[in-house]
Protein backbone atom coordinates (compact mmCIF):
# COMPACT_ATOMS: atom_id res chain seq x y z
CA UNK A 1 0.00 0.00 0.00
CA UNK A 2 2.82 2.40 0.90
CA UNK A 3 4.64 1.62 -2.37
CA UNK A 4 1.42 2.18 -4.33
CA UNK A 5 0.95 5.53 -2.61
CA UNK A 6 4.56 6.54 -3.37
CA UNK A 7 4.04 5.60 -7.01
CA UNK A 8 0.94 7.82 -7.21
CA UNK A 9 2.77 10.73 -5.56
CA UNK A 10 5.75 10.52 -7.93
CA UNK A 11 3.44 10.06 -10.92
CA UNK A 12 1.34 13.09 -10.01
CA UNK A 13 4.31 15.40 -9.60
CA UNK A 14 5.95 14.17 -12.81
CA UNK A 15 2.65 14.76 -14.60
CA UNK A 16 2.58 18.36 -13.34
CA UNK A 17 6.10 18.99 -14.62
CA UNK A 18 5.31 17.41 -17.99
CA UNK A 19 2.11 19.46 -18.24
CA UNK A 20 4.07 22.68 -17.72
CA UNK A 21 6.61 21.59 -20.33
CA UNK A 22 3.95 20.86 -22.93
CA UNK A 23 1.98 24.03 -22.16
CA UNK A 24 4.69 26.25 -23.62
CA UNK A 25 3.94 24.95 -27.11
CA UNK A 26 0.28 26.02 -27.05
CA UNK A 27 0.23 29.10 -24.81
CA UNK A 28 -0.23 32.48 -26.54
CA UNK A 29 2.53 35.06 -26.07
CA UNK A 30 0.94 36.87 -23.12
CA UNK A 31 0.24 33.70 -21.14
CA UNK A 32 3.65 32.28 -22.03
CA UNK A 33 5.24 35.21 -20.19
CA UNK A 34 2.64 35.15 -17.42
CA UNK A 35 3.16 31.44 -16.68
CA UNK A 36 6.93 32.00 -16.60
CA UNK A 37 6.43 34.69 -13.98
CA UNK A 38 3.96 32.58 -12.00
CA UNK A 39 6.35 29.61 -11.91
CA UNK A 40 9.01 31.83 -10.31
CA UNK A 41 6.51 33.14 -7.75
CA UNK A 42 5.39 29.54 -7.12
CA UNK A 43 8.99 28.66 -6.15
CA UNK A 44 8.80 31.48 -3.59
CA UNK A 45 5.52 30.07 -2.27
CA UNK A 46 6.96 26.54 -2.10
CA UNK A 47 9.81 27.80 0.06
CA UNK A 48 7.40 29.66 2.31
CA UNK A 49 5.14 26.62 2.65
CA UNK A 50 7.97 24.47 3.99
CA UNK A 51 8.28 26.80 6.97
CA UNK A 52 4.63 27.69 7.47
CA UNK A 53 2.72 24.66 6.19
CA UNK A 54 4.99 21.89 7.46
CA UNK A 55 6.79 23.46 10.43
CA UNK A 56 3.96 25.69 11.64
CA UNK A 57 6.04 28.88 11.77
CA UNK A 58 4.17 31.96 10.51
CA UNK A 59 6.72 34.34 9.02
CA UNK A 60 5.89 37.83 7.80
CA UNK A 61 9.44 38.46 6.66
CA UNK A 62 10.00 36.09 3.76
CA UNK A 63 10.09 38.98 1.31
CA UNK A 64 13.54 39.62 2.80
CA UNK A 65 14.88 36.33 1.40
CA UNK A 66 13.25 36.90 -1.97
CA UNK A 67 14.87 40.36 -1.97
CA UNK A 68 18.22 38.93 -0.87
CA UNK A 69 18.24 36.76 -3.97
CA UNK A 70 16.90 39.59 -6.10
CA UNK A 71 19.53 42.13 -5.01
CA UNK A 72 22.33 39.59 -4.64
CA UNK A 73 21.93 38.66 -8.30
CA UNK A 74 20.85 42.05 -9.62
CA UNK A 75 23.49 44.25 -7.99
CA UNK A 76 26.39 41.97 -8.86
CA UNK A 77 25.24 41.75 -12.48
CA UNK A 78 24.49 45.47 -12.79
CA UNK A 79 27.39 47.05 -10.90
CA UNK A 80 30.10 44.40 -11.04
CA UNK A 81 29.33 42.91 -14.46
CA UNK A 82 29.16 39.34 -13.16
CA UNK A 83 27.93 36.68 -15.55
CA UNK A 84 24.41 35.29 -15.18
CA UNK A 85 25.49 32.01 -13.47
CA UNK A 86 27.80 33.86 -11.06
CA UNK A 87 25.17 36.50 -10.26
CA UNK A 88 22.57 33.79 -9.67
CA UNK A 89 24.95 31.99 -7.29
CA UNK A 90 25.56 35.30 -5.48
CA UNK A 91 21.82 35.79 -5.03
CA UNK A 92 21.29 32.28 -3.65
CA UNK A 93 24.34 32.67 -1.39
CA UNK A 94 22.97 35.95 -0.04
CA UNK A 95 19.65 34.26 0.73
CA UNK A 96 21.36 31.33 2.44
CA UNK A 97 23.49 33.61 4.62
CA UNK A 98 20.56 35.90 5.50
CA UNK A 99 18.29 32.98 6.44
CA UNK A 100 21.01 31.38 8.58
CA UNK A 101 21.76 34.55 10.54
CA UNK A 102 18.14 35.64 10.93
CA UNK A 103 17.01 32.10 11.73
CA UNK A 104 19.43 31.86 14.65
CA UNK A 105 17.92 35.04 16.11
CA UNK A 106 14.24 34.70 15.16
CA UNK A 107 13.86 31.07 16.22
CA UNK A 108 14.63 31.99 19.81
CA UNK A 109 11.10 33.39 19.81
CA UNK A 110 7.78 31.73 19.04
CA UNK A 111 4.19 32.52 18.13
CA UNK A 112 3.34 36.19 17.68
CA UNK A 113 6.86 37.23 18.72
CA UNK A 114 8.36 35.16 15.88
CA UNK A 115 5.97 36.75 13.41
CA UNK A 116 6.88 40.27 14.58
CA UNK A 117 10.64 39.62 14.61
CA UNK A 118 10.62 38.28 11.04
CA UNK A 119 8.50 41.24 9.92
CA UNK A 120 10.93 43.70 11.53
CA UNK A 121 13.93 42.11 9.82
CA UNK A 122 12.08 42.35 6.52
CA UNK A 123 11.26 46.02 7.11
CA UNK A 124 14.91 46.76 7.85
CA UNK A 125 15.85 45.21 4.50
CA UNK A 126 13.12 47.18 2.74
CA UNK A 127 14.21 50.48 4.29
CA UNK A 128 17.85 49.69 3.50
CA UNK A 129 16.94 49.21 -0.17
CA UNK A 130 15.35 52.68 -0.07
CA UNK A 131 18.24 54.27 1.83
CA UNK A 132 21.04 53.09 -0.45
CA UNK A 133 19.42 54.52 -3.57
CA UNK A 134 22.83 55.22 -5.10
CA UNK A 135 23.13 51.50 -5.70
CA UNK A 136 19.54 50.26 -5.66
CA UNK A 137 17.59 53.25 -7.07
CA UNK A 138 14.87 52.46 -4.56
CA UNK A 139 11.32 52.13 -5.88
CA UNK A 140 12.44 53.15 -9.36
CA UNK A 141 14.66 50.08 -9.43
CA UNK A 142 17.37 48.85 -11.75
CA UNK A 143 16.85 47.57 -15.27
CA UNK A 144 19.46 44.98 -16.19
CA UNK A 145 21.72 46.03 -19.10
CA UNK A 146 21.77 43.98 -22.28
CA UNK A 147 25.17 42.54 -21.38
CA UNK A 148 23.68 41.01 -18.22
CA UNK A 149 21.12 39.11 -20.28
CA UNK A 150 23.58 36.93 -22.20
CA UNK A 151 25.93 34.26 -20.91
CA UNK A 152 28.12 31.46 -22.20
CA UNK A 153 27.86 27.93 -20.86
CA UNK A 154 29.83 24.98 -22.21
CA UNK A 155 30.80 27.04 -25.25
CA UNK A 156 27.18 27.93 -26.10
CA UNK A 157 25.78 31.47 -25.86
CA UNK A 158 22.36 31.85 -24.24
CA UNK A 159 20.14 34.94 -24.26
CA UNK A 160 17.59 35.57 -21.52
CA UNK A 161 15.65 37.74 -23.96
CA UNK A 162 14.45 34.49 -25.56
CA UNK A 163 10.98 33.73 -24.10
CA UNK A 164 11.43 29.98 -24.59
CA UNK A 165 14.71 29.94 -22.69
CA UNK A 166 13.21 31.97 -19.84
CA UNK A 167 10.24 29.62 -19.63
CA UNK A 168 12.37 26.48 -19.53
CA UNK A 169 14.79 27.91 -16.96
CA UNK A 170 11.81 28.76 -14.74
CA UNK A 171 10.41 25.26 -15.27
CA UNK A 172 13.76 23.65 -14.47
CA UNK A 173 14.04 25.63 -11.23
CA UNK A 174 10.45 24.76 -10.32
CA UNK A 175 11.06 21.05 -11.01
CA UNK A 176 14.25 20.99 -8.90
CA UNK A 177 12.45 22.82 -6.08
CA UNK A 178 9.58 20.31 -6.19
CA UNK A 179 12.04 17.42 -5.95
CA UNK A 180 13.85 19.01 -2.99
CA UNK A 181 10.58 19.69 -1.17
CA UNK A 182 9.35 16.13 -1.78
CA UNK A 183 12.61 14.65 -0.47
CA UNK A 184 12.40 16.80 2.66
CA UNK A 185 8.72 16.35 3.53
CA UNK A 186 8.51 12.63 2.75
CA UNK A 187 11.76 11.83 4.55
CA UNK A 188 12.54 11.61 8.27
CA UNK A 189 13.01 15.38 8.53
CA UNK A 190 9.54 15.99 7.16
CA UNK A 191 7.96 13.76 9.79
CA UNK A 192 9.80 15.61 12.54
CA UNK A 193 8.74 18.98 11.10
CA UNK A 194 5.10 17.90 11.22
CA UNK A 195 5.60 16.63 14.78
CA UNK A 196 7.01 20.05 15.74
CA UNK A 197 4.06 21.75 14.08
CA UNK A 198 1.56 19.59 15.97
CA UNK A 199 3.26 19.42 19.37
CA UNK A 200 6.75 20.85 19.82
CA UNK A 201 7.09 20.11 23.58
CA UNK A 202 6.34 16.42 22.99
CA UNK A 203 8.82 16.32 20.07
CA UNK A 204 11.44 17.89 22.32
CA UNK A 205 10.65 15.33 25.01
CA UNK A 206 11.28 12.52 22.51
CA UNK A 207 14.88 13.70 22.25
CA UNK A 208 14.84 15.81 19.07
CA UNK A 209 16.77 19.07 18.93
CA UNK A 210 13.80 21.10 17.75
CA UNK A 211 15.76 24.36 17.50
CA UNK A 212 18.29 22.83 15.11
CA UNK A 213 15.61 21.15 13.02
CA UNK A 214 13.59 24.36 12.78
CA UNK A 215 16.77 26.21 11.82
CA UNK A 216 17.38 23.72 9.00
CA UNK A 217 13.82 24.24 7.77
CA UNK A 218 14.22 28.02 8.04
CA UNK A 219 17.45 27.99 6.01
CA UNK A 220 16.05 25.67 3.33
CA UNK A 221 12.91 27.81 3.13
CA UNK A 222 14.86 31.08 2.92
CA UNK A 223 17.30 29.70 0.36
CA UNK A 224 14.48 28.47 -1.90
CA UNK A 225 12.87 31.91 -1.63
CA UNK A 226 16.18 33.51 -2.66
CA UNK A 227 16.34 31.18 -5.68
CA UNK A 228 13.02 32.68 -6.78
CA UNK A 229 14.32 36.22 -6.18
CA UNK A 230 17.59 35.68 -8.07
CA UNK A 231 15.76 34.06 -10.97
CA UNK A 232 13.23 36.90 -11.09
CA UNK A 233 15.96 39.55 -11.30
CA UNK A 234 17.84 37.82 -14.10
CA UNK A 235 14.93 36.47 -16.13
CA UNK A 236 12.85 39.66 -16.06
CA UNK A 237 15.78 42.12 -15.93
CA UNK A 238 14.37 44.23 -13.09
CA UNK A 239 15.26 44.81 -9.44
CA UNK A 240 13.12 47.10 -7.25
CA UNK A 241 12.46 47.86 -3.59
CA UNK A 242 8.80 46.87 -3.81
CA UNK A 243 9.85 43.21 -3.82
CA UNK A 244 11.27 43.66 -0.32
CA UNK A 245 8.04 45.10 1.12
CA UNK A 246 5.77 43.24 3.52
CA UNK A 247 3.25 42.90 0.70
CA UNK A 248 5.35 40.14 -0.85
CA UNK A 249 5.52 38.25 2.43
CA UNK A 250 1.73 38.42 2.67
CA UNK A 251 1.37 37.30 -0.96
CA UNK A 252 3.44 34.19 -0.25
CA UNK A 253 1.16 33.48 2.72
CA UNK A 254 -1.97 33.95 0.59
CA UNK A 255 -0.62 31.72 -2.20
CA UNK A 256 0.01 29.00 0.39
CA UNK A 257 -3.33 29.33 2.16
CA UNK A 258 -5.26 29.40 -1.09
CA UNK A 259 -3.67 26.25 -2.50
CA UNK A 260 -3.40 24.40 0.79
CA UNK A 261 -0.77 24.83 3.50
CA UNK A 262 1.14 21.62 4.21
CA UNK A 263 0.66 20.21 0.71
CA UNK A 264 3.48 20.11 -1.83
CA UNK A 265 1.50 21.19 -4.88
CA UNK A 266 -0.82 23.54 -2.99
CA UNK A 267 1.39 26.65 -3.24
CA UNK A 268 1.74 26.17 -7.01
CA UNK A 269 -2.02 25.90 -7.45
CA UNK A 270 -2.57 28.85 -5.11
CA UNK A 271 -0.11 31.05 -6.99
CA UNK A 272 -1.75 30.32 -10.33
CA UNK A 273 -5.26 30.78 -8.94
CA UNK A 274 -4.46 34.11 -7.24
CA UNK A 275 -2.47 35.49 -10.19
CA UNK A 276 -5.12 34.72 -12.78
CA UNK A 277 -8.02 35.71 -10.51
CA UNK A 278 -6.51 39.19 -10.14
CA UNK A 279 -5.50 39.31 -13.80
CA UNK A 280 -8.98 38.42 -15.10
CA UNK A 281 -11.00 40.50 -12.63
CA UNK A 282 -8.80 43.60 -13.09
CA UNK A 283 -9.78 43.54 -16.76
CA UNK A 284 -13.41 44.23 -15.79
CA UNK A 285 -13.19 46.49 -12.74
CA UNK A 286 -10.78 48.67 -10.80
CA UNK A 287 -12.24 47.14 -7.62
CA UNK A 288 -10.52 43.83 -8.34
CA UNK A 289 -9.17 43.59 -4.79
CA UNK A 290 -12.74 43.62 -3.46
CA UNK A 291 -13.71 40.76 -5.75
CA UNK A 292 -10.54 38.91 -4.80
CA UNK A 293 -11.36 39.35 -1.11
CA UNK A 294 -14.87 37.97 -1.60
CA UNK A 295 -13.43 34.99 -3.49
CA UNK A 296 -11.01 34.32 -0.62
CA UNK A 297 -13.84 34.46 1.93
CA UNK A 298 -15.81 31.95 -0.15
CA UNK A 299 -12.73 29.75 -0.31
CA UNK A 300 -12.35 29.78 3.47
CA UNK A 301 -16.00 28.79 3.85
CA UNK A 302 -15.99 25.92 1.35
CA UNK A 303 -12.29 24.93 1.38
CA UNK A 304 -11.15 25.71 4.96
CA UNK A 305 -7.78 24.01 4.47
CA UNK A 306 -7.14 25.46 1.02
CA UNK A 307 -8.00 23.82 -2.28
CA UNK A 308 -5.61 20.87 -2.17
CA UNK A 309 -5.67 20.66 1.61
CA UNK A 310 -9.42 20.13 1.59
CA UNK A 311 -9.24 17.73 -1.36
CA UNK A 312 -6.64 15.68 0.53
CA UNK A 313 -8.74 15.61 3.67
CA UNK A 314 -11.95 14.56 1.91
CA UNK A 315 -10.93 12.46 -1.07
CA UNK A 316 -7.17 12.01 -1.70
CA UNK A 317 -5.56 11.20 1.64
CA UNK A 318 -2.35 10.06 -0.08
CA UNK A 319 -1.42 13.57 -1.24
CA UNK A 320 1.81 14.77 0.42
Q: Is residue 286 part of a domain?
A: no
In a domain, 310, yes or no: no
pLDDT, tens digit only, all 320 positions of the chain: 466 577 888 899 999 999 999 999 999 999 999 999 999 999 999 999 999 999 999 999 999 999 999 999 999 999 998 999 999 999 999 999 999 999 999 999 988 999 999 999 999 999 999 999 999 998 888 998 887 888 887 778 888 999 999 999 999 999 999 999 999 999 999 999 999 999 999 999 999 999 999 999 999 999 999 999 999 999 999 999 999 998 889 999 999 999 999 999 999 999 999 999 888 888 888 887 888 888 888 887 888 889 999 999 888 888 88
- 292: in domain: no
In a domain, 272, yes or no: no
Residue 248 domain-assigned (yes or no): no
End-to-end, the C-alpha distance of the chain in Å comes to 15
Structural domains of the chain, count: 1
Residue 268, domain member (yes or no) = no
Q: Where would I find the H helices in the chain?
A: 2-23, 29-49, 63-79, 84-106, 111-131, 133-136, 163-185, 188-205, 210-236, 246-259, 266-281, 288-302, 307-314
Check if the beta carbon of residue 306 is closer than 8 Å to that of residue 270.
yes
For residue 220, being part of any structural domain is answered with: yes
| Residue whose C-alpha is closest to residue 234's, from 135, 128, 146 | 146
Closest CA to 20 of 8, 34, 7: 34
Measured in whole angstroms, the distance separating CA 212 from the mean position of its chain's CA atoms is 22
> Which residues span the domain enclosing 176?
2-243
Q: Is residue 253 part of a domain?
A: no
Amino acid sequence: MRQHSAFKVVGLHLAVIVLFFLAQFVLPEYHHLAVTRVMILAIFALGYNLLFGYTGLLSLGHALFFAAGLYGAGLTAFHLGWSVPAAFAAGVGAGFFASLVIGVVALRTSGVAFMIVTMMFSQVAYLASLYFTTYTRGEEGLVMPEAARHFDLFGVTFSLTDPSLRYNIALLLLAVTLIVILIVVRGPMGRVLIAIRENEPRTLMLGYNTFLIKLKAFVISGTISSVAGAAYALLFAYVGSSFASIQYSIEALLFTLLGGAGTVLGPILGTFAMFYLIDIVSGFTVAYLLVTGIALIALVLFFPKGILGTIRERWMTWLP
